[in-house]
Amino acid sequence: MKAFIVYCHPSDDSFTKNMCDSFLKGIKDSGNEYIISDLYRMDFKSDITEQEYLRDANYLTTPNVAPDVLAEHEKINSSDVIVFIYPIFWTEAPAKLVGWFDRVWSYGFAYGEKTMKELDKAVILCSAGNPLERLENFGLLGSMKKVMFGDRLFGRVKNNEFVLFDSTSREKPLREKNWEDNLKKAYEKGLNLFEVKEEKFTLEDRFFTAIENSESGEVSSQTIFAYHQKGNVIWAEYSGGSIIKGFLLGTIDDNNNLHFNYQHINTDNKLKSGSCDSVPKTENGILRFYEKWKWTDGEEGTSIIEEI
């Protein structure tokens, strides 16, 4: 098995470089292979040119893709797994890596009539100066995951994992204290990179929309559900289409089936409520829920929501 590592840090004098080296050693020790694009060492040109912009923005397959971008396409299509290793800069990947996506995710490769292979997995190993708690409480971690998994990698990988090494900036005592443990964690991630294991199911920070509904239902493709999960409790806020504002609250069972009550105000200013049982199914890499719902007044229906 082969991993393609996209590594982006401006300095070897960094935690991220050490973490990357430990991860690579883990892959090597597992008997698997990797190839790496070290974006700073390659001096990867991250500014999209006007010609590239006009090609992508107009959905054209000409002019031909630049040789440095083609080389990245080849690395992706010859690999099973893609791994991104970088420090968080202002709640994003470093600009060079953001630019890598601007250029490498070109029309005809990553979108349109895609020639990009669907990879088994994407793993992000990310160092952050802030503690995990702050990144979670401010919604910053969720935003970063959403951008990477909900946009850049969406529909392009079968599974994904975000591994955070928090409190690693130089002023944090935890940087030194956790140094060896963090390198060990990175090594083990490399060692087990190709292990097939069922990821723990969570609805935290996942967004859905309806793709089908019975006639008497009110949610539609205009409705967005923002889901959350803590333990076996799930909740979501939803709005859009004929729904001004709605909330649902319920539980997720051991088979990942959802059981919840919902209520919303519709555009006729009516308060509607009901209950729903929902079964998950992953189809073409997309998580869908097949829902059986019932209004409080008794009418029943079915709907399908899918992740966006």
Ligand X SMILES: Cc1cc2nc3c(=O)[nH]c(=O)nc-3n(C[C@H](O)[C@H](O)[C@H](O)COP(=O)(O)O)c2cc1C
Q: What is the contact surface with ligand X in residues (CB under 6 A)? A: 9, 14-16, 87-91, 127-130, 168-169
Residue 80, SS3 per DSSP: coil
Q: How far is the CB of 127 from ligand X (least distance, A)?
A: 4
CA angle in degrees (0–180, nearest 5) for 187-193-194: 145
CA angle in degrees (0–180, nearest 5) for 275-284-92: 85
Nearer to ligand X, 55 or 145 (CB): 145
Nearer to ligand X, 4 or 15 (CB): 15
Amino acid found at 181: D
Helices marked H in the chain: 15-29, 50-57, 67-77, 95-104, 132-137, 140-147, 173-177, 179-191
Residue 187, SS3 per DSSP: helix
Q: How far is the CB of 81 from ligand X (least distance, A)?
A: 23
Element holding 279 (H helix, E strand):
strand 271-283
Nearer to ligand X, 75 or 189 (CB): 189
Q: How far apart are CA 47 and CA 59, in angstroms?
A: 19
Q: How far is the CB of 86 from ligand X (least distance, A)?
A: 8
Q: How far is the CB of 130 from ligand X (least distance, A)?
A: 3
Nearer to ligand X, 95 or 271 (CB): 95
Nearer to ligand X, 89 or 235 (CB): 89
User: In sequence order, what are the residues at sequence separation of 6 or more whose Cβ sits closer than 8 angstroms to the Cβ of residue 114?
Assistant: 108
Nearer to ligand X, 129 or 246 (CB): 129
Q: How far is the CB of 6 from ligand X (least distance, A)?
A: 16
Q: How far is the CB of 142 from ligand X (least distance, A)?
A: 14
User: In sequence order, what are the residues at sequence separation of 6 or more whose Cβ sits closer than 8 angstroms to the Cβ of residue 194?
Assistant: 1, 3, 30, 32, 80, 81
